[in-house]
Chain A
Amino acid sequence: MNLFLLSVLIIVSGGTLAVFLSRQFVMMRWVAVLSIGSGCCMGMLDALSRLISDAPLAFSIGHLSTLGLEFRIDGLSAFFLLAIFGICLMAAVYSFNYLSHVENRLSTAVSYLFFSLLTASMALVVTAANMLTFLLAWELMSLASFFLVVLDYQDPQNRKAGYLYFVFSHVGAMFIIVAFGLIYRDTGSFAFDATALAPPIKLLAFVFAFIGFGSKAGVFPFHVWLPHAHPAAPSHISAVMSGVMIKTGIYGILRMYVILDLHTPATGSLVVIAGVVSGILGVVYALGQHDLKRLLAYHSVENIGIILIGIGIGMIGVATQNPIMAVLGFAGGLLHVLNHAIFKSLLFMGAGMILHKTGTRTIDALGGLLKRMKITGVTFLIGSLAIAGLPPFNGFVSEFLIYLGSFRGIAGNPEVFALSLLAIVGLALIGGLALACFTKVVGVVFQGEPRSPAAEQVDEKGPAMLLPMLILAAGCALIGIYPGAFMFLATKAVASLGLPYGRIPTLPFAHLSANITLAATLFLAAVLFILALRKILYQGKPMGRGGTWGCGFTQPTARMQYTGSSYAGSILEFFKPVAPLQEDHPPVEGLFPSTTHYHSQIHDIVALHLDRFVVAPVVWLFDKLRWIQHGDIHLYIGYILLAIVVLLFFV
């Protein structure tokens, strides 16, 4: 038995044991965390060694005579496995202190069961080597995550989120099945091989697969489920779902690209445009959110957009025989998969800590948390800097590679030029908006004065929650300053895409990483020097403390601070056409005005129009067809008879 299968077995058995041990609350958590954690550790090491040694592994479990379960681990799979096992390990450790309410014994046990199933199924998805295996693992993953979303089913909002997720993941799966069906129709085999297909069919299959996988990845406009489902799940599950589960959609797109062997600029254009739209709109909607976890969920849409821009630039590079552009694009996109997994799960874990301690996710009800939650605050700050793509953190490195790849396209023909321009300006806009959004989060949630009693008396406890956050934050800085090894891993994954040119030279990447390291080190040295200078300059100086100057107001209250809504207001005004803002604010009247309120909501145009243009027509149609189903059993038998007769005659 190979190491990969063993680690999956250990993970699943950990979750299963948890259900049987649910009466002993503490022991159940120990058993579940230890076995899921050790399984993840093992899988991670296995994936890492496979990625470095460049040795693909294939194996099958063939007890069913017609359709065997086949698996294959190549560089691409190993790269995704690394992210999946790594993040699930962190989430498992985090869950030990997060799920500490004895009264929720049974739901905790169930959550461990589905968590282990989710981990295992994600690992199987990225290693599946034929269509049936893939779809089986894919469905298992969708179902396991569905149950995790509705874990807290008493809340009607969570039930709605679960329902939405269920519909979207299955409509998405339907599109994937159609794409696979198209391939099967022409090749007659379930194997992942479609090189013999005619180009138009290939393109059609790719578009269907893109819609299907895109709905899992949260690509605009198929992202509607995402901002509902991610906040509903427990925070460590949100971390896993947002950090790695949606990346299986990216894996699917890449795998389809490899299977179809389709090197036309059309695929690249589709992916880049979808990426730019997701990226910009994702972060615009994130800016308008009042719920911390929802805000983070919208940032997943944004980061999926960035990943897609990278991959699309790679595809264009391949199609136009521009190897450097291709490798930079793909490597940047893949590295961003890993980077986003790291900083997004870190941010969700921070949000989980806040939720755990204050009981609220409303951004405008928090404030001043940094003073009492030092570790959460600092790690969240690092995560924010990383997600905004700022050096010297990891988000910058992958965006840098994508930028370099896109600039390579500037010298190309007009079509490539236009797409590269779109990618570059899109990335610049996304970067600026993400900075605005995360200064809002850090500034309103962690800084200033507490805005509500809930935020006043907080502390941070739980070493099992703090440790993963520290490790992930260290990862952000490590990749940001020493990206060499991680670029190497990403190029290994790119190499297994089977691009139509030889080995990828590692020397340019070594130069790149050395340059980033040098520049980052210089910057850090400058900061340290100025810090030392500051210390000297303040030696023996009077240092006072006092209230913030309130411009003449002598009785300032915390309510007078700038809120997240007002902070984002003017930027949202700019994006009004794509992000309609609804405000509810009765005017203040009279000399002694009575109490008033302000409520604002930013509408997701897709969610807004989905109702009108998709849901309403479908409901209308089925309403009109209701006469078919009237409850008379004789007519039902008649339908069956009719169906048999028709089939007999015409098929």
Chain B
Amino acid sequence: MIESVLLWVFALLSAPLFAGVIFKVKAFFGGRRGSPLLINYYTLFKLIKKGSVYSTSTTFIFKLGPVVSLGAVATALLFMPLAGHAPVLSFNGDVIFILYLLGLARFFTIAAAMDTASPFEGMGAAREAYFPIICEASIFMILILFYRLTGDLALARYFSGGQPFGLWQTAGPPLLFVVMALFIILLTENARVPVDDPATHLELTMIHEVMVLDHSGPDFAFIELGSFLKLFFYAAMIARLILPFELGNSFLNLGLFSAGVLIVVVAVGIIESVMARYRMDRVPKFVLTAFALAFFATAITLEFLK
């Protein structure tokens, strides 16, 4: 139990570091030295030291938005088995609770954006409401497959212990599809290229960055931390799937797990460096690919398990 809580704290503390790796990868591809690895910590401290300016149009929801979204992701991480260890909490159906909790976070992020009466933020909010709908359907499709394989509906049953290895053994090839689908979902949910571009500000094509334009100070720090945690949350799932091994020692396990997360964020960085963002009306097709992959994976296992 104590170990689980420690791992949770590790997740909270290390998430900004993993997100910082993406900058380094992009700098490498751009032939630059790039910002230091700890850049995200510096940003968070800088933001926390500042005050805030609030728009006269806003209400209390604007201030509540960052708090709820950070709280939701932090709670979601409580249910995520990290490094193969059992999570702090787990019950049958916790996946559904977590997905809807992330939905609540989205609701408040959107509401906070709409609170500013800015047309740009409205535009971002509309897209933020649109693309995750397809993501959610894809995740549930993946859950259907996982339920079929394990007969359970809890994150702990999929990703803790040697469980992921068992998944590969029962349904290897389809699981490759699942990894790809999860990666697409990660890119979409975390506002990454090719769906969204976290580097540019104030273009008509932005989603997440434009929604948080008017936030500043500690509020903005909460938003940033929340998005680092969210990236970590999705990366943790994929990390356990691509490196499903058990090393016996919890430190070695943690190292392996960190390597998995590192692989995921490096992949994100590479994709951001070599790809351009899609035109907005092409994005739904890209996200639908994730659904199709998950669907085919399930269809294939249907034959396998008979």
Binding site for B on A (CB under 8 A): 367-368, 370-371, 377, 381, 385, 388-391, 396, 400, 403-404, 407, 410-411, 414, 417, 420-421, 424-425, 427-429, 431-433, 435-436, 438-440, 442-444, 447-449, 511-512, 515-516, 518-519, 522-523, 526-527, 529-531, 534, 537-538, 541-551, 558, 560-562, 566-571, 573-574
Contact = CB atoms under 8 A, between A and B. Distances in A.
A447 B117 contact: yes
Chain A's interface: helix, strand, loop or mixed, by majority? Answer: helix
Interface stretch (B13-21, B87-95, B241-249): B87-95
A448 B59 CA distance: 9
Nearest to A519: B97
B167 to A, nearest CB: 16
A403 B136 CA distance: 14
SS class, residues of chain B in contact with chain A: helix
A407 B110 CA distance: 30
B217 interface: yes
Contact of A385 (B92, B107, B140, B302): B107
A391 B95 CA distance: 13
Contacts of B298: 421
Contact of A523 (B54, B71, B92, B110): B71
A431 B103 contact: yes
Contacts of A447: 57, 59, 61, 111, 114-115, 117
A51 to B, nearest CB: 26
A284 to B, nearest CB: 11
A516 B129 CA distance: 26
B126 interface: yes
Contacts of B72: 523, 526
Contacts of B200: none
Given A432-B136, A527-B68, A424 B114 contact: no
A562 B137 contact: no
For the complex of A and B, the 9 pairs showing the least CB-CB separation, nearest first, are A562-B122, A443-B114, A432-B133, A448-B117, A541-B51, A542-B51, A436-B129, A527-B71, A526-B71
Contacts of B50: 541
B101 A523 contact: yes
Given A390-B103, A390-B104, A548 B214 contact: yes
Interface residues of B, number: 78
Interface in B123-145: 123, 125-127, 129-130, 132-134, 136-137, 139-141, 143-144
A543 to B, nearest CB: 6
Contact of B96 (A403, A420, A443, A449): A403
A456 B122 CA distance: 20
B136 to A, nearest CB: 5
A534 B67 contact: yes
Interface stretch (B25-33, B146-154, B189-197, B256-264): B146-154
A522 B284 CA distance: 34
B45 to A, nearest CB: 11
A518 B89 contact: yes
Contacts of B115: 443, 447-448
B250 interface: no
B48 A537 contact: yes
Interface in B219-235: 219, 222
Contacts of B222: 530, 534
Contacts of A443: 110-111, 113-115, 122, 125
B130 A570 contact: yes
A330 B52 CA distance: 50
A545 B126 contact: no
Contact of B147 (A407, A439, A531, A573): A407
A613 B127 CA distance: 37
A597 to B, nearest CB: 18
B97 A516 contact: yes
Contacts of B119: 560-562
Interface in B269-306: 280-281, 284, 298, 302
B163 interface: no
Contact of B148 (A411, A432, A542, A546): A411
A545 B298 CA distance: 53
B81 to A, nearest CB: 16
B99 to A, nearest CB: 8
Contacts of A411: 147-148, 151
